[in-house]
Structures are given as structure tokens and as C-alpha cells.
Amino acid sequence: MELRRLRYFLQTAREGSLGRASRSLGVAQPALGRQIQLLESELGVKLFRRVPKGMQLTEEGEYLREALDHPLAQLDLALKNVRSFGARVDVAFTMGLPPGVMQVLGPRLFLRLSRELPNLKLRFVESDSASLAADLLRGLVDIAVLTGVTPDNRVFRSEVLREPLWLVGAPGSALAGRDSLPFTELEHFPLILPSAPDSLPTLLEKLAARSEARFVVTSEVDSVDLAKQVVAAGAGYTVLPPLLCRDELASGELVAVPVTDPALDRTVLYAVQPLWRVPRSTYNEVEHVIFEEWTDAVTSGAWPAEWRFDRRLLSTYAG
């Protein structure tokens, strides 16, 4: 089956009209229609039904569109990158970082990669870790830092950090003046937490079950900034790593204490998509820049966390 025919199908599906698709592809409408018919004949199904305003996908057509969209985009990018091996120009690379991590690592990585690897066509994406894990599997992100989330087994990943999680409240709250808080007392502090698929509520549930303790969630807020604002106003408490509230702690807008017995912390992973799309030599260079800057962020105190990664594992992810 010709890839060209599949690309014609996808463009027709996007445009919803043979006429518009033929104009955007630069192909005569009768020829385009013939290619769609040949594809339907090969597959033995109807992919489109005619409607007053153009072409509408059948159930089979919608399935094929969803199945082809990302693989063909990846194939096009791979072919483009292969052509760039000799000239080493315009190699596309996408880095995914969660909020907070983007502020610490994003500028460091962007500036250094731009300077040392001018052949890279950089794209940085800020999103929650669950979304980044899904994007890795779909090939939309090449490398990501994931906090508190373990991706699908097909994604290459390794634990790099364990970062503490603190109970955060307003300066005049019951946390003021405390050095720590036993997990068994957490039930006295009404929590404002993110909703699923964030891993924090699940983590608290597991620890509560083991400790025969309990906690109370009064509200769900999926924005770290909003959570900090309402907590600072005295609406409740939240749980955050120091990285995400260090400025507010330094300015006195918030107070925070570690939770103990058991301690609260979360895993931070380095994750790479299963089908690496850039030259191996480029990947190795990118990897070393990431880990040099990441190490510096932790050792300098910019990212409060415990380093767990074995540097001997470097350059094993691209296969």
C-alpha cells in the first residue's frame, strides 16, 4: 500500500472535502478521488460517506485516521532527520517538563542546547506528568521529566531523584511554629489536593492504609498556583515539594513542614520515548547536557531533592 495514498486519505479527512483537499495537496480532484477509491478497494471498507457539505468519515474511516495520524507524522519526521545526518541541521527535539521543573531546568537546558547543539530544532512543552507520560508513548515528546508518575512499560525510564513532600499552610495556621507533622495528625488538616490522574491522592491513600491513619480532602484543585493562593488565604492546606513553594516560603506567604512517620516523598523520573527519532550521536549529546544541568540544579540547592541516579547508565536509553 502506498504511503502517498494514506497521506491523501488523512488530508481529505482533515479537510472534509475532496475539493479542499485537492487544493491543499496540489492534486487534481478526480485523481484524488480515484486514490481514495483505490484505498477503499484495498481495505474492503468504505472510508467516507458523502454529505451535503463534503465528505464525512465512516466508523472505519475514523478508526483509520486515529491509527495513522501520529505514526505517519513520526515517519515524516524520521525521514527528515535521516536526511539531516550529514549536514546536522534541523533535527527536531521535544523536551517535556512539569510546572516548577520547567522554571528550574527549562532555561538552563534551552540556552545550553541552543548554544552547543545549533542543529537542534528545540521545542519545550510544559504539562502535568500524566500528560507527558502519555505523550512519550505517542511519540509527541522525546524526553521528559516525570514527577510522581510511572509511565507505560514501553517507555524507557530511570529514577533520578526522591524529593520530599511538605504540608503547606498559611502563616497564621496551625502549622506555624512546627518543625514537622506526624502522618497520624494529618486528618486534622483539611487538604486541597489535585484530582486523578495525579498520583498524590493515591500515595496518601496507600500510606494512610499502612499507618491505619486517615486524611480529609475538602477540595480538588488541579492548579498549583491556585492551590497556593487559596491556602495562603487560609482556606485549607496542601501538599507540595519544596521546589513548588520555595518563593512563597522565602517571602513568608506560606509555611511548610515535612510529614513524618512515614515520610512523604515522591519519585522523579527521566523518561525517553520508545522510538527515538534523532541520530544516536545527537541523543548522547542531549543526554549529557540534561544530566549536567540537572546535577547542578540539585547540588546548588535550586532543586531540593536526594539524587538517586547512577551516571553509569547514561547513553543506554536510545538502544
Query: Could you read off the pLDDT of 143-202 as tens digits, one per residue?
Result: 999 998 888 888 888 999 999 999 999 999 999 889 999 999 999 999 999 887 777 888
Average pLDDT, the chain: 87
With CA atoms as reference, report the closest residue to 241 among 253, 261, 256: 256
pLDDT of residue 319: 40
pLDDT of residue 234: 94
Please give the full DSSP string across 222-239, using - where no structure is assigned. --HHHHHHHHHTTS-BEE
Q: Where are the domains of the chain?
A: 3-77, 91-162+267-313, 166-263
* Cell digits of residue 168: 503547606
Please check whether residue 211 is in contact with residue 187, taking contact to mean a CB–CB distance below 8 angstroms. Answer: no
Fold match between domain 3-77 and domain 166-263 = no
Domain 3-77: CATH class, spelled out:
mainly alpha
Is 166-263 a domain of CATH 3.30.360.10? no
pLDDT surpassing 50 at residue 300: yes
pLDDT surpassing 50 at residue 77: yes
Please give the full DSSP string across 19-47, using - where no structure is assigned. HHHHHHHT--HHHHHHHHHHHHHHHTS--
Rounded (10°) CA dihedral 280, 284, 285, 289:
150
Separation CA 58–CA 48 (nearest Å): 5
Please check whether residue 271 is in contact with residue 151, taking contact to mean a CB–CB distance below 8 angstroms. Answer: yes
Terminal alpha carbon distance of the chain: 29
pLDDT surpassing 60 at residue 88: no
In what side-by-side order are the strands of the sheet with 265-272? 120-126, 91-97, 143-147, 265-272, 156-164, 306-307
pLDDT surpassing 80 at residue 280: no
Global pTM? 0.68
pLDDT of residue 80: 65
pLDDT surpassing 60 at residue 278: yes
pLDDT of residue 239: 95
SS3 assignment, position 218 = strand
Least confident of 127-141, 255-269, 274-288, 305-319: 305-319
With CA atoms as reference, report the closest residue to 47 among 31, 68, 33, 61: 61
Amino acid 148 reads G
Q: Which one is the CATH code of 91-162+267-313: 3.40.50.12780, 3.40.190.10, 3.40.50.150, 2.60.40.10?
A: 3.40.190.10
**Cβ-count burial of 174 within 10 angstroms (0-12 exposed, 13-18 middle, 19+ buried)?**
middle
Separation CA 141–CA 139 (nearest Å): 6
User: pLDDT tens digit string along 102-122?
Assistant: 999 999 999 999 998 888 889
SS3 assignment, position 274 = coil
pLDDT of residue 85: 55
* Beta strand residue intervals within the chain, DSSP E: 48-51, 54-57, 91-97, 120-126, 143-147, 156-164, 166-169, 181-182, 191-193, 217-220, 238-240, 255-260, 265-272, 306-307
* Cell digits of residue 174: 496551625
